Structure 1
Amino acid sequence: VSARRIVNVPKRGIGDVTLAKLAGYATASGRTLVECFASGEDAEVGKKAVQSLGELSELLSDLVKMDENGASPASLVTEVLERTGYRDAIKALGGQEAQSRLENIAELVSVASRFAELQDMLSSVALVSDADDLYGIEGKVSLMTIHIAKGLEFEAVFMV
């Protein structure tokens, strides 16, 4: 997952200017954006952003430790939902779109519970995402592994 996509979801008070400063600091220091979350003060961002980035850095670090200690993917997803307040933020939006998002979150937890290891879950999700990208492409040949093609429907299939 891209650090830029999660840095302010749910809202943490980190805007485009703060993100640009942080990205500039990351480039100048030869580190990744995620590695710089814990050093927001050095990137000269505001106090609220420093606190928010520090909390996000701590969460990511804790998740890595949990995974290394054998935590299930479902417990990792639940930890993210609880510590970030993401589910509550979606509930607060209200309406049909919020309900749809809450159903997606419930499905994510359900899917995560089917896997014992995070790496297995991520590999499976990547394969499904790759397969989803194949639909809607006309006039082109799709080259894929049998594993990705499983369950998909095509007018013609050639195996090499």
Structure 2
Amino acid sequence: MNYFELFDIPVSLQPDKKSLPKKYFDLQKKYHPDFFSQSDEDEQSEALQKSSDINKGFKILQDLDLTIKYVLQLKGLLEEEEKYQLPPDFLMEMMELNEELSEDSEKAIRSRENDIYNEVKDIIENYNDATITTDKLLKVKEYYFKKKYLQRILDRMND
């Protein structure tokens, strides 16, 4: 299942947030299982699966991190549960940050998050599926894993 094809939108790291809900509701009107209650069992099962795909696709395409993960998987550059090796300098920086966690750390983490986003901002915001290179997608992949690492630190702080 390709969610971009399902929603009839171009592959993008930032799908149009204004048109996506309309496409979602149009698809749900067309495939909602309640509309197939008088159909045979196969059609009901198919409608239920399609409705599930629509819900899952909508959730993914509304969230930048999930969309990045999904596009990287579509391109064969990210496997489920992949153990990505972050650069040693980043890991050293995170180790130092972890040792110094305080109430002000959240600001520092958010600032670092902005820094790593700025490194790929142009790629993400001007993504063109026809011209994107593997090297650029690998930079986005590194951003994705760095951001996940920072989020885990934030989550631990909030526990």
TM-score normalised to the size of structure 1? 0.28
Greater per-residue helix proportion: 2
